Amino acid sequence: MSEPPPDPRSAEFRFSLPLKVLAAAAALLILALAVGILLPGRWEVERSVLFAAPPQAVYGWLDDPRRWDRWAPLGDVESTFSGPPRGPGATRSWHHPEMGDGTFRIVAAVPNREVLYRVEVQEGALITEGTLRLEPEGGGTRVTWTEQGDFGPNPLMGYTVLGMDRLQGNQMENALQRLGELVLR
């Protein structure tokens, strides 16, 4: 014989419903974390634009960290600069309570062809590596900007990776548009 259902006025019934809701919420959280662990930690975003200008008109904006704020601004972040003014070793550093501490460093450059850089935030906890390639095309220059990073096996950052192409891509598109306006002045 089966037992009759509990009386809604009983203590057993009043406590079992909140426990079932709590157990369901915990199960959903565990499921979300498990899915997050399975999501990729690596991301890569690429954007490209054609400027009606020669490579040398574009390159001077890319190999000098002091000029990046004009087209790819960090916002209201006070920075210091070290190393050579441009090219490999040119470095921008910042200390900011919301963005964290970080450095942007040009790691390699081929004049009028390519600039490679590395951004480290929170002493390397987050690393972004980027490349800006310049290729003559028609009477202008195609600038292809690629950024990549790895958030590791963090279950919450796995969800962030899913939106990186849109989030980071939008920032890169806006920066390239500002760069084009500067180059074509």
Confidence class for position 97, pLDDT limits 50, 70, 90: confident
Is residue 91 in a domain?
yes
Confidence class for position 125, pLDDT limits 50, 70, 90: confident
Confidence class for position 165, pLDDT limits 50, 70, 90: confident
Is residue 117 in a domain?
yes
- For residue 81, the SS3 value is strand
Q: Give the CATH number of the domain where residue 145 resides.
A: 3.30.530.20
pTM of the full structure: 0.78
**Each residue of 35-65: pLDDT tens digit?**
556 656 788 999 999 999 999 999 999 999 9
Cα–Cα distance between 131 and 92 in angstroms, integer?
17
Is residue 2 in a domain?
no
116/81 same-domain check: yes
Residue 32 lies in domain: 7-38
The residue assigned the tokens 């426990």 is 19
Provide the number of structural domains found in the chain: 2
Contact of 59 with 166, CB cutoff 8 Å: no
Contact of 112 with 59, CB cutoff 8 Å: yes
19/69 same-domain check: no
